[in-house]
């Protein structure tokens, strides 16, 4: 049975759309009084998000399903390989999916990413290294990248 839940995070309200015990979509939304129906799955997703935001988690391990075209799925799979705290370009992703001239199509697939943070589209930057095109806004993209850099620096200092 499809459902949704909304939680308030340090990065704003987060909406989780799910079906049964599988997350289908994770995104930020405008503030609302709605909470939807919270489940064991959404509580686990939120717990892992909180760990990510506090710098205690760099990967996610809850069940999710990516629904889209074959090309979108190839792009999203490539995004999942970008290491925590690192960036790559749209051109890099286009080459990884075997379509080096499809930079704009990669950008469009990136923009349709249904799994905010989990499929780390925020780690994709313009060819010249600038922060470009992010559904949550450039400020959100910057905040996420800065968070990951702080965590990497902290971990490097403590090792």
Rounded to whole angstroms, the Cα distance separating 116 from 96 reads: 21
125 CB-near residues (< 8 Å, 6+ apart)? 87, 88, 89, 131, 132
Q: Is 121 a catalytic residue?
A: yes
Strand partners, 12: 9
The series of mean pLDDT values per 10 residues for the chain, 159 residues long, is: 94 96 96 94 98 95 97 97 96 96 94 95 92 86 95 86
Domain boundaries, the chain: 2-53, 70-158
The highest-level CATH class for domain 70-158 is mainly alpha
pTM above 0.95, yes or no: no
What would the two tokens of residue 26 be? 């994770």
pLDDT at 157: 86
Q: What's the pLDDT at 136?
A: 81
Of 14, 117, 119, 121, which residue is the catalytic one?
121
């Amino acid at each position: 049975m499809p459902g949704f839940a909304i939680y308030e995070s340090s990065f704003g309200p987060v909406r989780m759309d799910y079906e049964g015990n599988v997350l289908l979509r994770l995104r930020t939304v405008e503030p609302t009084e709605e909470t939807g129906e919270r489940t064991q799955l959404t509580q686990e997703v939120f717990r892992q998000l909180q760990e990510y935001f506090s710098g205690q988690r760099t990967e996610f391990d809850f069940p999710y399903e990516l629904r889209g075209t074959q090309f979108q799925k190839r792009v999203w799979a490539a995004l999942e390989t970008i290491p925590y705290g690192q960036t790559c370009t749209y051109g890099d992703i286009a080459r990884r999916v075997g379509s080096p001239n499809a930079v704009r199509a990669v950008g469009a697939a990136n923009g349709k990413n249904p799994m905010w943070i989990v499929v780390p589209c925020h780690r994709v930057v313009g060819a010249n290294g600038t922060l470009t095109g992010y559904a949550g806004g450039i400020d959100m993209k910057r905040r996420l990248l800065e968070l990951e850099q702080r965590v990497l620096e902290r971990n490097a200092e403590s090792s």
